[in-house]
Structure 1
């Protein structure tokens, strides 16, 4: 597939055993708004995003990543992508059809090479959103999603071949080799990234804040509340974005970020950064040092949803 049919990241959907605890955390602490909720399922929006929701929470017996959703420009592009994936032998979960989720739209789902459920959709109604004001420490939008893969080179190749994602930068270390690949589907440095991990799992979901001040206010609010911090605050080299990583009540890693780099795609050449260099992981030098403990926090639990489509 040479033409890029994916336009942007829409939402990340999580299944959790302790639904009430997670819902309370994502709304009261993380700063998302429960736009639509039903018994055991909630659609949580970011204040500044036109997307109907940025996170879906679903009550389930086992923790899992339900799906990652991407947008397409129109129904014809959705159909074209489904046809191409089917022709290439990718396992479709559903054929393109009207969506039953908030905002409607037209889309389909498929399994990627690791067994994650991916959704592609178009024509979803635009949510009535607002400008996040100065000093407001709530997410503007979902920035990017990073996944763990025990076969990361194959996963990167899958997204390059089938979804026309482009590689922006790679992280490596002298004793581990290449460990993370940042991928884009628009000029934003990355909407998606793949990390080398021991099993298939969510690595982290990142949320864009209004600016540095709002990012630091949000980071401080979580620290004062005793939310477990994994890493940060700091500023990465790849993407040039700020980072503060925390754990949600079920051990999923979440990030507050801001100022993620936008690229000139015509002139950009991917870098290979040595993350054993402290300035690569944190240009500011303010974060706790990258360590095996920090890395393992984002390995997460093995995903129980591999090659098992979510029920909704």
Structure 2
């Protein structure tokens, strides 16, 4: 593997028609904090994260994913990655330059093989954050993002070849074949996963909680608040992390999780897990069964942002 230039997942940017309802959900129910705002834009942080924000929300006529943002160590790494992608014929939608969002920095944007906009930046100022306290059931940080693709092997190869992501594990079944690749850009089991779907779209965004107790308290708060639960609470085998999946007001799936596995990358070998085995999807056996109804919710609506760069 060549030298890895991407270090971590920074944030996910979403556009939604009912901006006020989505904003209230993220701040009042999900537990994020607004740190900056502009006309029709909100930047939402996790209290325990040094990232200036982990979700960007934009008012728009159509629901879409605006971009997925990753970090790099230095401006030189950003330039090296941009040169690599341009030489390989990847479509650049914003050349390297100053980033005009909270924290600033230096970065650029491009389309991945499925047409979603990806941003890579470095030199972003860290945010003054705090320790999330015991029993405080709010996200500590952004954990990972899962993206739907019609050809998960093609998307996996693209991220391996162009961005040096590595495969951690795969979910498969005798009847459906391979349905999800877990991809990493650091020792965390996955910062991104690629799921098999009928169209490119957002599968889910995952948020790390302080611990098991805070994860369960957050799950309970959402249930008591009438938020629709899709799946959980339980514990996956791939990644060994807990999961509770809920729908936001626009039908996007969001996850509370904790204890995602950290790998020894020098010795790790990817597994292929048969997700038709119940202990693979949920080691604890506490979640509702994974079935076609649960899977369908995660297909989401077709992403209207494919090969269309966001306006900001």
TM-score interval, smaller chain:
over 0.9
SS in structure 2 opposite 1:94? strand
The whole-number CA distance in structure 2 between the counterparts of 1:251 and 1:45 is: 21
Distance 2:261 2:127 in 1: 25
| Cα-to-partner distance string for 1:174-201 (whole Å, 9 max, x where unaligned) | 1000000000000000000000000000
Residues 162-185 of structure 1: per-residue CA shift (max 9 Å, x gap): 000000000001100000000000
Answering whether residue 21 of structure 2 is matched by residue 52 of structure 1, we say no
Match of 2:123 in 1: 123
- Give, in angstroms, the shift of residue 79 of structure 1: 0.1
Q: Which residue of 1 aligns with 2:35?
A: 35
User: TM-score scaled to structure 2, two decimals?
Assistant: 1.00
Mapped pair 1:71 → 2:84:
no
Counterpart-to-counterpart distance in 1, 2:212 and 2:290: 22
* Alpha-carbon distance between aligned partners in 1 of 2:187 and 2:256, rounded to the nearest angstrom: 20
CA distance in 2, matches of 1:88, 1:68: 20
**SS at 1:204 equivalent:** strand
Indicate the residue corresponding to 1:224 in structure 2.
Answer: 224
Give per-residue Cα distances to partners, 1:253-302, cap 9 Å, x unaligned. Answer: 00000000000000000000000000000000000000000000000000
Partner SS state of residue 80, structure 2: helix
1:84-233 correspondence to structure 2 within 5 Å: 84-233=84-233
Kindly provide the CA deviation profile for residues 22-75 of structure 1, in whole angstroms up to 9, marking residues without a partner as x.
Answer: 000000000000000122100000010000000000000000000000000000
- Segments ≥4 residues shifted beyond 3 Å: none
Q: CA deviation at 1:3?
A: 1.1
Give the Cα separation in 2 of the matches to 1:47 and 1:175.
Answer: 43
Give the distance between the partners of 1:226 and 1:174, measured in 2 at CA.
36
Determine the structure 2 residue equivalent to 1:245.
Answer: 245
Report the Cα distance in structure 2 between the residues aligned to 1:13 and 1:151, rounded to whole angstroms. Answer: 23
Q: Tell me what 2:282 maps to.
A: 282
Gaps of 5+ in 2: none
**Hey, what does 2:81 align to over in structure 1?**
81
Structure 1 residue 210: deviation in Å? 0.1
Deviation at 1:238, TM superposition (A): 0.1
Structure 1 residue runs without a partner (length 5+): none
The aligned residue for residue 9 of structure 1 is 9
Instruction: Tell me how far apart the structure 1 counterparts of residues 304 and 151 of structure 2 sit (CA, whole Å).
Output: 17
Distance 1:42 1:234 in 2: 32
Task: String of CA shifts for 1:63-95, please: whole Å, max 9, x gaps.
Answer: 000000000000000000000000000000011
Secondary structure at the aligned position of 1:86 is classed as helix
1:272 paired residue number? 272
RMSD of aligned Cα (Å): 0.5
Q: Distance in 2 between matches of 1:252 and 1:38?
A: 23
Q: Distance in 1 between matches of 2:273 and 2:74?
A: 36
Q: Does 1:26 align with 2:26?
A: yes
